[in-house]
């Protein structure tokens, strides 16, 4: 369980590719909604993918609002109601990005309120989460249009204060989930080894641990070679601090005292945290501006173009994916979720969930039907009808309802986290943007964004260290 919250910078490929991609996604969604008559996704996985795609498309539209082409089109479509102007550092592109993301954030906020307390797909409100995709897309687009009639002052205040706070909360949430994932993965492997004495699981655990440590040291060496030249004090400090802390947490994870209070702590968790934090540091130094001649990727035109395209694809998909993963982690975020989360890969329920209550209810129902058939009060085919109407019945389109007995995740919390994701996208696109740039915006190539990544890696190390030391400092609270 968990999400590897990546912080690379948002940039996108050519305009034609983006328009084609966005049109194809919107077209597919619209056709699906029309053909299925606004039907309901029975699979919770399909629902989550749909919301992730919506966030992905919204991020692309947000980036387009930073381009002169989009602003000119916007001015034309609104019959010059929207006037493109720059007053100091408040260019309209900044406000437009905030408008688009605020619209999607408002969409998720309303859904979170409407879906409070939904426990299973038997609740009529569950259809708002899993269905009505045609109307929901129309509402989302309507919100985007309506935001352009709200005064700019509101969005300037929103972007500078509220959205920034939401973005930092979103980043912190991802770091917490990463540490949780590291512990969950290692503990699950150890349990499999203890239960089955499996050589395969030993190889997997040891191999993944060595692989992640190797990747961490390889990235560190590459950073020293290419980004830590003479005069690059910021890069040298960031890389060195990351290496020192990496070694410290590795030593702490196998310290006898820590092992005494938490025997399952070890190198596997340290390796996962190390490789992620090293990646964050490498992303920070490789995407910083080249004002001090410390980033050779910016000066290499071919490499720069490739990095922009690759960064666009990876970043947008990563934000959409990790947001969805973070929004469905009930055990880390909400202890009162309808389902109890089993260990990773548990075979007792789909998506690693335990579903004890529905199983017992089905057994009681089946026993009652068998008794009625034996007594002659019901025909023998009643048992067949019962099977056809089971909780896992097919929805007629090849999907199965996996939330009849209980939701796979907290619907209201799901949308709150997507709301935070929109603030992160808006902040990443607009914070310290180059207001004098023309053409395609090199979004996120700022020292602010680099420092966000560097500090995030330090915070991640701190959270992991506390997860190791907390049982030692407060043994009573952790059952020791």
Q: Between these two residues, 382 and 139, which has the higher pLDDT value?
A: 139
Q: What angle do CA 288, 429, 146 make, to 5 degrees?
A: 175
> Given a cut of 60, is residue 334 above it in pLDDT?
no
d(CA 200, CA 408): 30
> Given a cut of 60, is residue 328 above it in pLDDT?
yes
Q: Between these two residues, 222 and 331, which has the higher pLDDT value?
A: 222
- Looking at residue 375, its pLDDT comes to 66
In this structure, the dihedral spanned by the alpha carbons of residues 178, 182, 183 and 188, taken in order and rounded to 10 degrees, is: 130
> Given a cut of 80, is residue 118 above it in pLDDT?
yes
Q: What is the pLDDT of residues 31-85, one digit of tens each?
A: 444 434 445 676 778 888 889 889 989 988 887 787 777 777 777 776 666 665 5
- Looking at residue 242, its pLDDT comes to 96
Q: Are 175 and 5 in contact (CB under 8 A)?
A: yes
Question: What integer best gives the mean pLDDT of the chain?
Answer: 74
Q: Between these two residues, 328 and 200, which has the higher pLDDT value?
A: 200
- Looking at residue 402, its pLDDT comes to 65
Q: What is the pLDDT of residues 434-471, one digit of tens each?
A: 555 544 555 556 788 788 889 999 999 999 999 999 88
**How many C-beta atoms lie closer than 10 Å to residue 90's C-beta?**
17
Q: What is the pTM of this model?
A: 0.70
CA 80 to chain centre: 37
> Given a cut of 70, is residue 30 above it in pLDDT?
no
Task: Report CA-CA distances (Å) from 8 to 133, 288, 433, 450.
Answer: 30, 11, 15, 9
Q: What angle do CA 338, 339, 343 make, to 5 degrees?
A: 155
Written as six digits, the tokens of 351 are: 């998506």
Written as six digits, the tokens of 27 are: 């077209």
Written as six digits, the tokens of 130 are: 């899993």
- Looking at residue 247, its pLDDT comes to 95
- Looking at residue 222, its pLDDT comes to 93
- Looking at residue 306, its pLDDT comes to 55
Q: What angle do CA 230, 231, 234 make, to 5 degrees?
A: 115
Q: Are 334 and 413 in contact (CB under 8 A)?
A: yes
Q: Are 218 and 243 in contact (CB under 8 A)?
A: no
- Looking at residue 360, its pLDDT comes to 55
- Looking at residue 373, its pLDDT comes to 64
- Looking at residue 108, its pLDDT comes to 95
Q: Are 359 and 86 in contact (CB under 8 A)?
A: no
> Given a cut of 80, is residue 405 above it in pLDDT?
no
Cα atoms in the Cβ-side hemisphere of radius 13 Å centred on 40: 17
Confidence of residue 3 (pLDDT cuts 50, 70, 90): very low
- Looking at residue 252, its pLDDT comes to 93
Q: Between these two residues, 97 and 73, which has the higher pLDDT value?
A: 97
Written as six digits, the tokens of 307 are: 């990095």
**How many C-beta atoms lie closer than 10 Å to residue 192's C-beta?**
19
Which residues, at least 6 apart from 162, have a Cβ–Cβ distance to it below 8 Å?
423
């Amino acid at each position: 369980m968990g999400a590897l919250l990546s912080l690379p910078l948002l940039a996108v490929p050519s305009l034609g590719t983006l328009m084609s991609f966005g049109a194809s996604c919107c077209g597919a969604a619209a056709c699906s909604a029309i053909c299925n008559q606004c039907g309901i996704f029975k699979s919770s996985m399909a629902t989550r993918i749909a919301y992730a795609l919506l966030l992905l498309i919204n991020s692309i539209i947000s980036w387009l609002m930073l381009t002169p082409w989009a602003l000119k089109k916007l001015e034309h479509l609104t019959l010059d109601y929207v006037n493109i102007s720059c007053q100091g550092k408040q260019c309209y592109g900044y406000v437009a990005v905030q408008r688009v993301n605020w619209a999607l954030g408002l969409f998720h906020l309303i859904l979170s309120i409407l879906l409070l307390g939904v426990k299973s797909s038997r609740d009529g409100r569950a259809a708002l989460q899993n269905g009505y995709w045609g109307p929901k897309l129309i509402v989302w687009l309507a919100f985007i249009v309506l935001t352009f009639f709200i005064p700019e002052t509101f969005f300037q205040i929103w972007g500078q204060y509220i959205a920034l706070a939401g973005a930092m909360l979103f980043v912190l949430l991802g770091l917490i989930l990463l540490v949780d994932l590291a512990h969950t993965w290692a503990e699950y492997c150890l349990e499999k080894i203890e239960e089955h004495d499996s050589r395969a699981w030993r190889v997997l655990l040891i191999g993944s641990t060595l692989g992640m440590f190797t990747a961490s040291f390889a990235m560190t060496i590459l950073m020293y070679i290419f980004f830590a030249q003479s005069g690059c004090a910021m890069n040298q400090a960031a890389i060195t601090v990351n290496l020192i802390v990496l070694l410290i947490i590795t030593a702490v994870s196998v310290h006898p005292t820590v092992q005494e209070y938490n025997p399952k702590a070890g190198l596997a968790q340290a390796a996962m945290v190390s490789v992620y934090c090293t990646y964050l540091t490498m992303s920070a130094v490789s995407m910083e501006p080249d004002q001090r001649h410390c980033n050779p990727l910016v000066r290499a035109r071919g490499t720069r173009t490739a990095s922009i395209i690759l960064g666009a694809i990876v970043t947008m998909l990563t934000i959409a994916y990790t947001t969805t993963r973070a929004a469905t982690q009930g055990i880390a975020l909400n202890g009162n979720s309808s389902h109890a989360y089993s260990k990773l890969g548990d075979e007792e329920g789909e998506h690693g969930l335990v579903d004890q209550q529905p199983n017992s209810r089905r057994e009681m129902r089946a026993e009652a039907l068998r008794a009625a058939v034996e007594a002659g009060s019901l025909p023998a085919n009643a048992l067949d009808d019962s099977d056809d109407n089971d909780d896992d019945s097919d929805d007629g389109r090849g999907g199965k309802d996996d939330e009849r007995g209980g939701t796979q995740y907290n619907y209201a919390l799901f949308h709150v986290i997507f709301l935070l994701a929109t603030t992160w996208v808006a902040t990443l696109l607009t914070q310290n943007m180059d207001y004098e740039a023309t053409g395609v915006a090199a979004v996120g190539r700022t020292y602010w964004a680099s420092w966000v990544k560097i500090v995030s890696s330090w915070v991640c190390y701190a959270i992991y260290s506390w997860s190791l030391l907390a049982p030692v400092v407060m043994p009573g609270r952790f059952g020791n």
